Amino acid sequence: MTSAADEKAQRFQIGEVAERTGVTQRTLRFYEEKGLLNPPERMEGGFRLYSEEDIQRIEYIRQLQQLLGFTLADIKEMVEAEELRQQIIATFRPDRELPARLERTQRIIDALTRQLEVVDHKVEHLQKMQEDLRSKLTRMETRKKELQGALAREAKDKK
Amino acid sequence: MTSAADEKAQRFQIGEVAERTGVTQRTLRFYEEKGLLNPPERMEGGFRLYSEEDIQRIEYIRQLQQLLGFTLADIKEMVEAEELRQQIIATFRPDRELPARLERTQRIIDALTRQLEVVDHKVEHLQKMQEDLRSKLTRMETRKKELQGALAREAKDKK
DNA sequence: ACCATCCCTCACGCACACGGTAGAGTTTGA
DNA sequence: TCAAACTCTACCGTGTGCGTGAGGGATGGT
């Protein structure tokens, strides 16, 4: 008997994950070793089996790394906070211990706030750079047109 | 006789530059070695003397590196393009060779366009992340208030 | 049972971006 | 002219983020 939950639980071997995410097998094992990915399930013989969530996490890590230039240490902090956040959300009301839940919630808020500050800071600087590049670009294009105009006149004079 | 230009030409030794920019002396020499900074002037005995422009360039390099996560190789390309751009702008009309000037201008435009594409891409992804973080944060804050409310009610019940 | 294809765990290697220190010379102020 | 502070080159060391095998099992189809 297969429940609806079972049907959804598709797993992938490391090779397929590597292909789908564009991350090498070595790197996947490396991330696991460094605690960025939590150890995936294994088959009897020891082959790793990744879930869809694992794959999403891998893609998230890559974005943080390549697009935003965070170090793996930074990223580890971020994914840990994310995990804690999901755990808290998944916890439906085993009430009692309200103070503890409140405190964990506060910890997540703090982590998110710190992350947001970093991102805000980066966005701000990037936008400045964007403006700067755009204005330089338009100035160079103006110059180009001037040069082309001068060139056209020169050709005409020769005629 | 000191001209206005001379008065402005203040120079700084490597230690002061390091302090002002937050970059170590070792790193300054390293950047020079890698061609990111062009060799500064020297005193008779060989001490490096940096100009204000050098300092600005150092700060620019650090921004590209830390905020945007570019590699030094990328940055080298970018500062070279920037330098070429400034040279072209500083060249007032020794006309003749218009085609050559046009071509260099086009090269700068291409470089700026490539840089802008990269920056645009990063801004886009960062903004998505910003949105994501903001919504997570507000959800957690809502949750916090719920918990605080529950806690207050509990305290009241005890009374 | 066999074999092609996958995967496993070490373990060394490498490029990048510097850090640290040695040993010697330079500069500046008293 | 002499000391304290600064700087020079040269060279080896370090942490990060993987790459690249070696040697050996695991899996799935026939």
**Looking at the complex, does the CB of residue A152 fall below 8 Å from at least one CB of chain B?**
no
Is A40 strand, coil or helix? coil
- State which residues between 109 and 128 of chain A bring their CB within 7 Å of strand D: none
Query: Which amino acid is it at A53?
Result: E
Q: Which of A99, A108, A134 sits opposite B140 (nearest CB)?
A: A108
B61 near B39, Cβ under 8 Å?
no
Q: A25: Cβ–Cβ under 8 A, 6 or more apart, which residues?
A: A14, A15, A18
Whether residues A119 and B98 touch (CB distance < 8 A) is answered with: no
Query: Which amino acid is it at A128?
Result: K
Residue B107: closest C-alpha in chain A: A140
Query: Which amino acid is it at A104?
Result: R
Euclidean distance between CA atoms A84 and A58, whole angstroms: 17
Res A27: pLDDT: 98
Whether A26 sits with its Cβ under 7 A from any strand D atom: the answer reads yes
Query: Which amino acid is it at B141?
Result: E
Query: Which amino acid is it at A21?
Result: T
DSSP, res B49 = E
Q: Which residues of chain B fall short of a pLDDT of 50?
A: 1-7
**Looking at the complex, does the CB of residue A62 fall below 8 Å from at least one CB of chain B?**
no
Euclidean distance between CA atoms B138 and B20, whole angstroms: 39
Count CB pairs under 8 A between chains A and B: 117
Res B73: pLDDT: 93
Q: Which of A66, A101, A123 sits opposite B126 (nearest CB)?
A: A123
Res A159: pLDDT: 63
List average pLDDT for each run of 10 residues in chain A, which is 159 residues long.
54 98 98 97 97 96 87 92 85 72 90 89 90 95 93 84
Tokens encoding A124? 């701000």
Whether B49 sits with its Cβ under 7 A from any strand C atom: the answer reads no
Q: Quote the minimal CA–CA distance from B129 to chain A in Å.
A: 8
Q: What are φ and ψ of residue B119, in 5° steps?
A: -65, -45
Interface of B with A in 2-21 (CB under 8 A): none
Instruction: Mark A34-60 as b/e (b = at least 16 C-beta within 10 Å).
Output: eebbeebeeeeeeebbbbeebbebbeb
Is B36 strand, coil or helix? coil
Whether A46 sits with its Cβ under 7 A from any strand C atom: the answer reads yes
Whether A27 sits with its Cβ under 7 A from any strand C atom: the answer reads no
Helix axes A52-62, A25-33, angle to 10 degrees: 90
- Closest by CA position to A84, among listed A123, A115, A49: A115
Euclidean distance between CA atoms B32 and B41, whole angstroms: 12
Q: Which of B69, B102, B147 sits opposite A144 (nearest CB)?
A: B102
Res B96: pLDDT: 66
Instruction: Mark B126-151 as b/e (b = at least 16 C-beta within 10 Å).
Output: beebbeebeebbeebeebbeebeeee
pLDDT tens figures, B72-114: 999 998 899 888 888 888 876 665 688 888 988 999 999 899 8
Which amino acid residue lies closest to nucleotide D6, measuring CA to C1'? B15
Interface of B with A in 69-88 (CB under 8 A): 69-70, 85, 88
Res B159: pLDDT: 62
pTM of the model: 0.83
A90 near A110, Cβ under 8 Å?
no
Is A46 strand, coil or helix? coil
